[in-house]
Structure 1
C-alpha cells in the first residue's frame, strides 16, 4: 500500500463525534497487521472500543487506498443472507441483477484498492465469512478490518485482541491532564466525558477517579456511562454506589470477569434511572438502528408510560448517555441505543412483552410503508425517499418479525408490497426480491396483499432478467385478482405480463398487454406511480418496435399527468422515453433537452439504473450530433456506473446494439487514444461529479425562432411561470394568475430549476431578465 498525497477523500467513514483517547500503540499495531494481512479482526468484550479503534485506524489509512475506506455497519443485521446486501448498499451498489449479490460485490471490488470495515460481525458470522471469502478471493488490493466478539475464522485472518484501557495503580496516579498514552488513558477518558457532562474533577479526586476506573476494569463504555452520571453524583458517590453493586454480585471482586463488569455497570445505570426511564429504555430496545420521536411515542407509550411524557424521558436518557442523539438528513432528530445498551434493554423484556412491542413496532412501520406508497405519486417524493431510507433497519426488523411469527406473513406481504417504490426507486431490487420470495413461500392464501406482492416481485424479477420468475409471479397476480374479482390487481397482472413479454422480445404481445393495463389504470380515481409506469412501458415498447411517434404520444401523456401531480420520479422515466423516441426519429437536439432534464431529476434520487438509461441515450444523441468528445465523457461515466447496477440497459439486446454502434462511431471519430483519455477522465471522478461534468456541457443549439431561443429548454407554460417568478410572484400568486392549482405551479417551478440546473428562484429571475435583454 504505497503512500499517496493530495488524494481526494473517497468512502463513507463517519467523522468522530467525540475525542479519541489513548490507543496509540494499538493503532500502530493494527496498521502493521493490515500491512501484513489482507484481513484483520479486532476482538474483545462488548464496550471495549473495537469500533472506535477500527474507525480511527481506517481514518488514518483512508487516503492510502485509491478507492477509499468504507464502513459496513452490521449491528442491526441478524440474517446472514443480508450481510452482502448491507455491504453492497454501503458501497453504493444498486444491484438489479439475479446473479447473487456476492457475485456483484466481487465483480465491483475486483480491481479496487479499498479498505472495508465490517463492524459488529458476531451475530452474522456465517454471512460475514461468506462475504469476506468472496471478496478476498478476487480482489488482491482489498483489505478487510472487522470487529467481532469472536474471530471469523476466515483463511488468512489475523486476530488482534483489543484490551481495556490501562488504569494506574494508586502509586502511579498523577494529574488527570497527563499524557493520553500509558496508564492514564482510562482516567483521561473519564475526565473528558465528565467535562462534556458539565463536571470538572478536581486534582485531589485523582485517586477516586483511578479507583472508579479500576472498578470498571477500564472498559470504555462503562467509564463513559459512569462519567455521564456526574451530572447528578460526585465521583465519591459514584464509587460508593459501584462498590455496593459489585458486592451484591460477587463476594470476590477480583474474580469478577469483564463481561460481568459491563453487565454490572448496566444494572447500576439502570437503577439510577427513574421507573419511567427504565421502562422506556427497555421498550426502545425493540427498535433497530435510529428512531424518531414519533415512532417512540407510538410504540412505547401505554401502560406505565403516558404519551405526553415520552419526549421528557427521551431527553433524560440522552442526558444519561443511554441514548445518543443524531440529526437525520430529513431534518428530524433521531435517537439510537448503542448495541450493547440495546442488548441489555432487550434482556429485561419477557418473551410475551417483547412480542407485544415488536407487534406494535411492526404496525408502525407497516403504516409508514403504506403511507409512503400512497403519497409517492406527488411532490414529496424526495422527502419520502429520505425518510424510508432512514428507517431501513427498522423495516428489515419488521419484515423479519413477520417472516418468523406464525400468522404474521400477510402483514409482511403488505410491508414488502408497499415498499415497491423503495426497492425500485432507491436501487434495492435484490433485497426487495429476497424479502418477497421468502414471504410468498410462507403463505399462499389468495389475498390482496399476496397479489400485490406478486406483481411487485414480478416487476423486480423481470428487471433482474429472471424472466421465468417474472412471468410466473405476474400470472399468479392475475389468478388471485380473478379469484378476488379485483379489477385493479387484474390491471397490474396485465401490466407485468407486458413487462415480461417486452423483456422476452415479444413486442406485439407486450404492446397489447401494457396498453390494456393503462386503459384500465387510467380510470382509477387514485392514480399511482406504478399505474403510470404501464404508460411509460407502452412508450418503451413502441420505441423498440420503431414506432417513435406513438412512443412520443405515450411520453407526453405521462409528462402531463406527472406535472399535474407535482411528481418527479415517474416523470423522469417519461423523459427517458421522450428522449429515446426523439433520438430514434432523428431529432437528437430534442432528445438532449429531455434527457438532461431526466438526469437532473434522477441525480436527486440517486436512481443509478435510471441515470444509466438516460445517460446512454444522451451519449447516443451526442454521437448523432457529431459531438463525440461529449459522448466519450459520458461513456466513461457509464463504464463506472453500470458495475454499480449490475444489468446494463436491462440486458435488452436491441438497446445493447445501439450502445455498441454509437460507441464504435465515437471511437472511430476520435481515435482510440483520444476516446480512452476522455472516458478515463470522467470515469476517474466521483460518479455524480463525473456525470454532472459530462452533462453540463451544452450542445450546439438547433436553429429556433427568437421566442424559442429565449425560452431555452422550457415549455411555453414553464416559461410563463419563469416570467411570473421574475415579477416576484409567489407560487400561490402564480397559480391565481395562470389559473392553475398551487401544486401544479410548484411542480412547474421544480421542473424549471431542474431543466436550467439552478438552485434558487433568483437565478430563474436573472435568467429571464438576461433573455429579455438579449432579445430586446
Structure 2
C-alpha cells in the first residue's frame, strides 16, 4: 500500500531519510528455522534470484520476510521491498502491482516494465515477490528482464513452484521439526492463554498434535487457537476424529497437502453453521475488507446483517480471519489458503455468483460515494480508502468486464474512479481499465439509456487520462466520440465534459485561443446544468492558464482566487494546488518572489501528498526559476536537474509546449549565465540523482531562508509569450508590466 495521506502534517516530506523499503514489522515471535535463515542470507551473497518453495501453510512468506530482514545492508542499500501478488488475479496487472509496491508513480504511456527497469537500473535493492504461483507466466519473464537490466537487484520469490529461470536457486522449505512446532504452538497458545507453557501435563499431547499436523505452521497455529475451548488432550482426540472423517480427496496429492487441507477442514468442522457460512462468503473479497463491506455483502439468507460482527469476532478468535490496522482504519483479511478453502465451500453451495454480484454492487456504491466525497475536506481519507480497496475494486471491475451484459457497469465504475486515476497518480492503471471497458460494447454504443450514459462517462475520462499521459491522438478520438454521442442522445453533462477536456487538450498543445473558447463554453454549460465539483474548478484553473499565457494575468488571478475560495469553503485541496500554481506564476511575473515561493511550497506539498507528479514537477520547475531570480543559480540548477528526472514519468517534458516551457528556459538561461555551462551541467546532474522524495524535500527545505521581497521591474523576466524572450504579460485595466 502506498504511504498514507496526512492532511494534518503537510510538511512531513521535509525531514527524514527516504523509506528503506516496505517490509512489515513482525507482530509476534518468529520461532525456529535459525539454520535455514542463515543459509538463505548466505545464499543471497552470490545468488541474485532465490525462490523459496514449499507446501501451502509451511510458512514460506513469514520465513522469507524474517530472513531478508537479516541480509547485510550493503546488499540492500536501497531497501527491501515486498510485493504481495496473492490478490492479483489478472496477469496483466503484475507489472502495475510492482510499480505500486515500489511506490512509483508514472503518468506516461510507457509500459510499466520500462518504468520498473528505469527505476531499478542503478539501485542496490532486494525485491520479495510473494504469492506468485498463479501468475507465474507473467511473473517469470518480468523477473528475468529486471535482473538483466538491473545488476544491483536481488529477487527472493516466494511460491509453491519455481519460476524456472536461468540462475534461479531453489530453496525448498520443509515443515518445522516437531520440537520447533511444539515451541510455536506454545508461543501462540500463551498469547491466547497467559501462563500457558509446555509441561509434563501437556507436553506429550502437544507433541502428538504437532506430529500429526506434520509441523505445518499454519495448521499448528489453527490448532493452538482452539485452546480457547479445548485442552491439548481434547485437541488430540478431536484431531484424530477429524482425520478419519476428512480422509481422502485427490489420491495423488502430497501427504503434506492432505494434512493442511485436513487441518483447515478440521477447523472448519469445529465452526458453527453461521461461522462456516460467513467464512465461505468472506472468500469473495480480494485482499483486505472492512466490517461495513462484510455486513452488506455477507448478511442475509441465513445470517442476519446485525449478526455478522459477532460471527466475525469468533472467526478472528480462531485465526481464520486476521485483523490489521491501516491508513483506512481497522481492516480484516484471510490467508490465501484459508480463503481458497472458503471459496470451494461457497462454490459447492452454488452461491458464488450471487456473492460476486453483491461484492460488485458494494464496490460500485463505494466508488460512487468516494467520487462525491472527493469534493470535500475528506479528499485525503478518500484517497487512502481507495488505496486500501484497490484489490477489491479490481475484482469488481474484472467481474463487470468478463460477465456477459455487465460491460456498462464496468464503464461506469472505471469512469467513476476518474478522481483516483487522475488525482492520485494512477493514470496507467486507469488507462488499462478504461481502454478495456470502451472496447467491449462498441456495437452497442448508440443505444440510449444506461449503456450510453456509462459509456459516455468512460469516454471523457479516457480522454482526460490520455491527455495527462501526453497521448493526444487517442484522447481526441475518445473525446470526439463522446461529444458526438452526447449531442445525438441529448446528454448535456457528457457534452460539457467532452467540451471541457477538448479545451484541456488544446491548452497543452499550445492552441490558446481555442483552449480559451472551449473552456469558457464548458464552464457556461456546467453553470447551466448546476454542476460543481473538482472537475469544474479544474476547468476554471485551466481557463486561467490559457488567459495567463495570452498575457491577461488580471483575469487569471481573479479566476484562481475564486477557485481558491471555493476550495477553502469545501475543503478541497487537489484542485486548489493547481490554482496556487497559477497564482504563483502571476506573483513571479509581478516580481513578488516571496509570495510566489510561499504559494509554490503549498502547491508542492499537496501534489506530493496526492502522488500527483504533474502538479509536483510544475511546482519544482517554477521554484527553480524563483530561486534563480533570488540569486541562487546553483540551487536552481539542482532543482532543474531534479525536475528533469521526474518528467519522464509524467510524459513529454513541459508537454512540449512553448508556453509551459518559458519558466524552464528563463531559469536555465540565467543560471548558465551565472554559473557557466560546465558548472550548471554538474549541478543539474546532482539534481538528477535525487529520488522523488529527496527532490521534494530539497525544494521545500529552501523555504526557511530570507527571500528577496521584490525584484525591480527592469530586472524582472517576462512571464508569457510562446518562446518570445521579449514578450511581456499585461494587466487589463490600465496597468502594464514592462
Question: Which bin holds the TM-score, normalised by the shorter protein?
Answer: 0.7 to 0.9
1:132-531 correspondence to structure 2 within 5 Å: 132-167=143-178, 184-198=179-193, 200-204=196-200, 205-250=202-247, 257-330=255-328, 332-350=329-347, 352-444=350-442, 445-446=444-445, 447-531=452-536
CA RMSD across the alignment:
2.6
* 3-state SS of paired residue (1:61): coil
Cα distance, 1:415 vs structure 2: 1.1
Which shifted more, 440-449 or 373-382? 440-449
Asked whether the 8 Å contact 1:44–1:161 carries over to 2, the reply is yes
Q: How many residues align?
A: 682
Cα distance, 1:555 vs structure 2: 2.0
| CA distance in structure 2 between the partners assigned to 1:317 and 1:195 by the alignment | 19
* 3-state SS of paired residue (2:467): helix
CA offsets per residue over residues 745-772 of structure 1, 9 Å max, x none? Answer: xxxxxxxxxxxxxxxxxxxxxxxxxxxx
Asked whether the 8 Å contact 2:285–2:392 carries over to 1, the reply is yes
* 3-state SS of paired residue (1:333): strand
CA offsets per residue over residues 595-636 of structure 1, 9 Å max, x none? Answer: 122123223323333212212111112112223244245345
CA offsets per residue over residues 641-677 of structure 1, 9 Å max, x none? Answer: 4465565434545534642552453355346787678
Cα distance, 1:562 vs structure 2: 1.7
Match of 1:563 in 2: 568
| CA distance in structure 1 between the partners assigned to 2:114 and 2:422 by the alignment | 20
Q: TM-score, normalised by structure 2?
A: 0.87
Cα distance, 1:218 vs structure 2: 1.0
* 3-state SS of paired residue (1:40): strand
1:100 aligns with 2:96: no
| CA distance in structure 2 between the partners assigned to 1:626 and 1:95 by the alignment | 33
Match of 2:130 in 1: 119
| CA distance in structure 1 between the partners assigned to 2:368 and 2:510 by the alignment | 34
Which shifted more, 335-344 or 253-262? 253-262
**Cα–Cα, structure 1 residues 9 and 692, in superposed 2: closer, same or farther, change >3 Å?**
closer
Which shifted more, 654-663 or 602-611? 654-663
| CA distance in structure 1 between the partners assigned to 2:543 and 2:497 by the alignment | 14
| CA distance in structure 1 between the partners assigned to 2:384 and 2:420 by the alignment | 10
Asked whether the 8 Å contact 1:62–1:69 carries over to 2, the reply is no
**Cα–Cα, structure 1 residues 101 and 202, in superposed 2: closer, same or farther, change >3 Å?**
closer
Which shifted more, 506-515 or 213-222? 506-515
1:541 aligns with 2:537: no
Asked whether the 8 Å contact 2:592–2:709 carries over to 1, the reply is no
Cα distance, 1:526 vs structure 2: 4.0
Cα distance, 1:16 vs structure 2: 0.7
CA offsets per residue over residues 345-400 of structure 1, 9 Å max, x none? Answer: 10111274111001101111101101111121111111111111111111111101
Match of 1:659 among 657, 664, 686: 664
Match of 1:710 in 2: none
* 3-state SS of paired residue (1:111): coil
Asked whether the 8 Å contact 1:108–1:643 carries over to 2, the reply is no
Cα distance, 1:482 vs structure 2: 1.2
Asked whether the 8 Å contact 1:633–1:694 carries over to 2, the reply is no
Match of 1:593 in 2: 598
Cα distance, 1:558 vs structure 2: 1.8
Cα distance, 1:301 vs structure 2: 0.3
Which shifted more, 521-530 or 511-520? 521-530
Q: TM-score, normalised by structure 1?
A: 0.83
| CA distance in structure 1 between the partners assigned to 2:545 and 2:696 by the alignment | 24
* 3-state SS of paired residue (2:32): coil
Asked whether the 8 Å contact 1:507–1:545 carries over to 2, the reply is yes
Which shifted more, 548-557 or 341-350? 548-557
Asked whether the 8 Å contact 2:31–2:183 carries over to 1, the reply is yes
**Cα–Cα, structure 1 residues 476 and 8, in superposed 2: closer, same or farther, change >3 Å?**
closer
Match of 1:625 in 2: 630
Match of 1:179 in 2: none
Match of 1:177 in 2: none
**Cα–Cα, structure 1 residues 656 and 43, in superposed 2: closer, same or farther, change >3 Å?**
farther
| CA distance in structure 1 between the partners assigned to 2:105 and 2:253 by the alignment | 51
Cα distance, 1:125 vs structure 2: 1.1
**Cα–Cα, structure 1 residues 57 and 640, in superposed 2: closer, same or farther, change >3 Å?**
farther
Asked whether the 8 Å contact 1:9–1:63 carries over to 2, the reply is no
Match of 2:34 in 1: 24
Asked whether the 8 Å contact 1:583–1:591 carries over to 2, the reply is yes
Match of 2:65 in 1: 55
Structure 1 residue ranges without an equivalent (≥5): 1-5, 168-183, 705-776
Match of 1:721 in 2: none
| CA distance in structure 2 between the partners assigned to 1:276 and 1:667 by the alignment | 73
**Cα–Cα, structure 1 residues 546 and 161, in superposed 2: closer, same or farther, change >3 Å?**
farther
Asked whether the 8 Å contact 1:69–1:117 carries over to 2, the reply is yes
The higher-RCO structure (CA 8 Å, 6+ apart) is 2
Asked whether the 8 Å contact 2:470–2:651 carries over to 1, the reply is no
Asked whether the 8 Å contact 2:22–2:82 carries over to 1, the reply is yes
| CA distance in structure 1 between the partners assigned to 2:143 and 2:369 by the alignment | 38
Asked whether the 8 Å contact 1:250–1:256 carries over to 2, the reply is no
1:67 aligns with 2:64: no
| CA distance in structure 2 between the partners assigned to 1:246 and 1:68 by the alignment | 44
Cα distance, 1:248 vs structure 2: 3.0
CA offsets per residue over residues 180-199 of structure 1, 9 Å max, x none? Answer: xxxx2111111101111116
Asked whether the 8 Å contact 2:246–2:265 carries over to 1, the reply is no
| CA distance in structure 1 between the partners assigned to 2:388 and 2:98 by the alignment | 16
**Cα–Cα, structure 1 residues 61 and 9, in superposed 2: closer, same or farther, change >3 Å?**
farther
**Cα–Cα, structure 1 residues 9 and 416, in superposed 2: closer, same or farther, change >3 Å?**
closer
Asked whether the 8 Å contact 2:466–2:475 carries over to 1, the reply is yes
| CA distance in structure 1 between the partners assigned to 2:352 and 2:404 by the alignment | 15
